[in-house]
Structures are given as C-alpha cells and as structure tokens.
Amino acid sequence: MGMNNPEGSKLRPGKGHRMATKTVVKSGDVTQRVGVEVIRARGVDVDKLIKMLIANAGAEFASTYYYYTILRMNLAGHEDYKEICEDARLEDRAHWELIVPRIYELGGHLPNDLKEFHDQAGCKAAKLPDPPTAVNILTLLLESERCAIRSWSAVCDMTFGKDPRTYDLAARILNEEIEHEAWFIELLAFERDGKSIPSGHFRRGEPGEAPYSKNRGFYNP
Ligand SMILES: [Fe+2]
Ligand SMILES: [Fe+2]
C-alpha cells in the first residue's frame, strides 16, 4: 500500500491535497468534519473503515468479552488459566471502549440493535464448547485472539500513513492481541501436549491493566 493517495486525487482532480482539505468544510458547518476530510483526501475509504471498526467493536464486545466471561466461568480448577483469561477478557472490554468513540468521530454509529450488532461482528462467537474441557476452551480462546490479530492488522494496513489517530488506536489494541495469542499458545501447549512454549508473559499489575490500550505503566515492582 503506497503512501500516495490515488483515491484522494481521483476525487479532486487537478487540486493539491492541501487546497482540497482547506476548501471542503465551510466555516461553522457542523454537518461535515475536517477530521474526516483530511483522511479521505489521503485515500482512506472512510465508509469502509467505519464498517470495519463496527465489526471489530462487535468482536471485542459481543463475540469476545461476553463469551470469554462464560468461558472463564467454566475453567474451574484451573485458577492459573482463569487469571490469564481474566486479563484477556478485561483487555478486550478496554478495546471496545477505546475504539467506540472513533466510530462516532468518523461520522458512524453503533447499530441500535444488539442482535444486529452481534451478527455483524468480525469474529465468530466464542460459545462454550461441548464438552467444556480446558483444552477445548483454550483452543477457542486462542483462535479468537488470532481472529482479533487479523482484524486489527487489517485496520492498521488501511490507515498506516493516512489516518494517524485510527492507526494509533488499532496498533495499541493489536499489541495486546499479540500478547493474548502468546498467552493461550503457552497454556494450550501445556494443557494439551504437556509442552513448554513460553509466552514471555509478565504479570499485569491488576487484572485488566491493558497497558497499551489504557496507556498504563507496565508491571514493574
Ligand atoms: Fe481485543
Ligand atoms: Fe484479545
């Protein structure tokens, strides 16, 4: 993906970007947003970006946070797994809260219907597996994190060098999703195969610390 803006220049042939962004939104006009015009002029398909952010927000809130709550409840007897699952669960809630304001800033909105929102989610619902063994639950958790990595990477690719605000938010979330994948690889490899594949995990200060998405300091006693 180039840093030039083929779409932006197609929209306004013959005009430089600086000219175009200066003249589009009139003084006092509250129906348009300079924050949207500048990224459109750089080639971001804003409608597509809003759709992706709604799908990702749906995955964070509905298919991850909600279902992870159920999955964690069923890890009885594995208190160590429950603790890691709690970090991933609460950090996904932080991701939801981090990204929702961006949808509105871009002129979008959440669906006014929870079922519709759930069904638009970009990742499959992480429902309790049958039987709800630790191996089955950890496999599901791992695959959910992998879906999140793919979805947030797509947002990073689409906004890199064009929409620094969305890119920054998506990159913060992606940082934590990559950690979550590593945590569940470690737990699943141990539980299923008796293998040690360290994740490099250091304990968060508090459950749900979310050092990247909440911009908190790392646990460092
Ligand atoms: Fe997440
Ligand atoms: Fe996650």
Task: Report the C-alpha gap between 174 and 20 in whole angstroms.
Answer: 33
- Chain centroid to Cα 98, Å, comes to 9
What the block records as the tokens of 59 is: 């995955």
The 3-state DSSP class for residue 182 equals: helix
pLDDT in tens, the chain (221 residues): 444 444 444 444 444 455 444 567 999 999 999 999 999 999 999 999 999 999 999 999 988 899 999 999 999 999 999 999 999 999 999 999 999 999 999 999 999 999 999 999 999 999 999 999 999 999 999 999 999 999 999 999 999 999 999 999 999 999 999 999 999 999 999 999 999 999 998 888 788 888 899 888 776 66
* Residues with Cβ–ion distance below 5 A, ligand 2: 88, 92, 145, 148, 177, 180
Separation of 202 CA from ligand 2 center, angstroms? 16
Pure H helices in 61-133: 67-73, 79-105, 114-119
Report the SS3 class of residue 49: helix
- Cα(95) to centroid(ligand 1), Å: 5
- In the three-class reduction of DSSP (H, G, I as helix; E, B as strand; rest coil), residue 99 is classed as helix
Distance CA 207, CA 86 (A): 6
The CB density around residue 10, as the number of other CB atoms within 10 Å, is: 9
Which residue do the tokens 């069904």 mark? 119
